[in-house]
Amino acid sequence: MITNSGPKCFIMGFHYTLQYGRRTRIKVLNTVDIGGHIFEEWYERMHTYEELKKIADAGYNLLETHFLYGFGLKSEREEIERTKLFVENAHKAGIKVLGYFQFFSIQSETFFLDYPELQSMLQIDEYGKPYKYASTYDRNVLCFSYPEVQKYYLDGVELGLNYCDLDGIRLDNDYYKGCYCQRCLEQFREYLKETYSREKCKMVFGISSLEGVQFPSARNYICNDPLWMEMIKFRQIQRQKMIKLIRDKVKSTKEGAIFGGNPTIGRRSDQVSYVNIYIPDLGETHDLVCAENLLFPQSLRNSIRHQSEIYQHGNASGFKVYASHHHLNKNGSYRFPNDSNEVMLSLCEGLAFGGHCAASTWGMRLDNDGKSALYERPEYLNPQRDVAKFLEQHPGLYDNVKHASQAGIYYNRESITADFNHCWNSLQGLQQILLQNKIPFSFVYGEKPELLQNIDLLIVPDVRLMKNAELEALEKFLEGPKGGKIIFTGESCAHDEYFLKRKTGVLDNLKDNENALWLEDAPEKLDFKKGFDFRPNKWLLNTYYPPKAKKMVDAITKQLGLRKKLFTVKSKIFVTADIYKKDDIYFLHLLNYENNKKCNAEITWNGAYKNAEIFSPEKDVTVNINKKTKKIEVKNLKTYAVLKIGTEK
């Protein structure tokens, strides 16, 4: 588990082993060939105590290193012994170590020599062919519906935690494309039988029995086909059961062990159905989530590229996040950070939205000089040391605090799965509006109506598919003692969870409620042209601020009311704000995405307060209370600062 004592400074170690490098001759973002002799010499040296002590002295206290890449427990034994030595030396240096465990694929050439009985237990695509990882020819995917396959993963966990003395396991690519084998089909039919009575089946599907169904195509998004929708839910359940097995093994094998994964979130608008992961489910399994995508933080022409969405999911669901975002050149090619400003922004973004890990995923890579690690570059090392020192001195800014946002964004399984083209565009535009207008937000999930208790205003951004139980929860929120407010946009609530249009009058209780406001033109929605490529390396460079945003801002102001707003912040559009609370103390986190330029911020606190202090990993940030106006003035904000405000009960 990720314990208190402040956010962790995380460095990604050896993702690729020497064994893997020799087999593939891979190069990472045009750095040194990791299969070569120069890499081998450096690789061995980086396992020594002396090198790990240097990493600890740079302020890192959590590290990920190689463990299992899928060659087989016997065939990668030499690398496992290296892992054991690495962990021993890292512990001497005071660093906790997670072991990298490749989940999605195995290296078939050697794996089946170790496990010949598993050759027939592979995931099959819809054309009857075994899945392969990406464009490889030698990386098959195991079907984890088989107990024998499950045993391989569980044995690996035990080996890592007991023999290698790892402090946790971090799965890589712990997503699921969906298996079409006969065994999985039979399980799908059984799932449908348990889920649908004869009457319900006829109401939803028009037929009385689903015993003879086949899996729909995964490649064609037949989103309004109820069988396709149920297939995606079934895949999510399949994956979740397997991940829970591994998590339970981790937790039962070593007390306090960390369980993490990289489910490839934040990459696509259709990611829920593409990899069969509903992000809130990660809170049931993961302590730590790697967000590997192209959402590297940056100020754009009139918008912000950000990772705050996954950080807020972590806050609402109960997991911590470390970002592994690949930076992009304007031509779409990948790169490492260019300068200390980019590094500082990457390190601080997670801190600003919930005290997540300050992560250097570029860290333990061999630099082009063939001698040193990337983290040792001065433009990388200096910001890291500043952040590490800041966190060591001020863990109380993050420990045991509670998110104090007044606004919530509604998010549910059915809409983000089967209606992503509607709600996803609205979600992206809404986040731009909230971030640039310094309005903190949290997520409220349809499956967890208790989260409504934490907010004053709920925004439902064109969430069209909703269960009757969800509608009832929203009605209670509007009519409750707090007098909750809701802004509905677009065609929100128009369909039930089966994509069936609701009868006329069903929504009257919501539409007639004085605490509900309906914006049918969905002013928050990003209007990407039809056919636009939604892959992040295409659309992220073209994200924009919604042209009708003012209508949404005015609606938020009307619903919250100026007097009820906890605070307002005036600064440039690239400065964001998030708010947390502990007892009668508030912590206002300010983040400047345009951190090549210092700026000021003026905070109006709507209530009595006793004092205000400022904390930052950077120099020259100051705070002043204007005695006449009582406004709090923050000056010389470069990247990140936390304003600590003591209030009167």
pLDDT in tens, 14-62: 878 889 988 988 877 666 678 788 899 999 999 999 999 999 999 999 9
pLDDT at 534 over 60: no
CATH homologous superfamily of 404-560 equals Class I glutamine amidotransferase (GATase) domain (3.40.50.880)
Please spell the DSSP secondary structure of 425-475, one letter per residue.
Answer: HHHHHHHHHHHHTT--EEEEETT-GGGGGG-SEEEEES--B--HHHHHHHH
Which residue type sits at 357?
C
Please spell the DSSP secondary structure of 337-370, one letter per residue.
Answer: --SHHHHHHHHHHHHHTTS--EEETTTTSB-TTS
Contact 314, 356 (CB under 8 A): yes
What's the pLDDT score for residue 221? 66
What's the pLDDT score for residue 532? 47
Q: What is the mean pLDDT of the chain?
A: 92
32/371: higher pLDDT: 371
Distance CA 641, CA 357 (A): 16
C-alpha distance from residue 298 to each of 97, 307, 433 (Å): 30, 10, 16
What's the pLDDT score for residue 384? 97
Distance CA 595, CA 575 (A): 9
Percent of the chain with pLDDT over 70: 95
HEC letters along 82-96: HHHHHHHHHHHHCCE
C-alpha distance from residue 119 to each of 102, 138, 179, 473, 608 (Å): 18, 13, 15, 49, 68
- Evaluate if pTM is beyond 0.85: yes
402-431 per-position pLDDT tens digit: 999 999 999 999 999 999 888 999 999 999
What's the pLDDT score for residue 25? 84
On whether the 567-647 domain is CATH 2.60.40, my answer is yes
211-242 per-position pLDDT tens digit: 999 999 877 666 788 999 999 999 999 999 99
For residue 376, name the pLDDT band (cuts at 50, 70, 90).
very high
Query: What is the domain partition of the chain in residue ranges?
Result: 404-560, 567-647
105-121 per-position pLDDT tens digit: 999 999 999 999 999 99
Q: Is the dihedral of CA 41, 46, 50, 51 positive or negative?
A: positive
What's the pLDDT score for residue 313? 97
For residue 528, name the pLDDT band (cuts at 50, 70, 90).
low
Give the mean pLDDT of 523-552.
73
The token pair at 530 is 């039809």
For residue 1, name the pLDDT band (cuts at 50, 70, 90).
low
For the stretch 24-33, contacts whose Cβ atoms lie closer than 8 Å and that sit 24 or more positions apart, written own/partner, are 28/365, 29/326, 29/334, 29/335, 29/336, 31/365, 31/366, 31/367, 31/368, 31/374, 32/366, 32/367, 32/368, 32/370
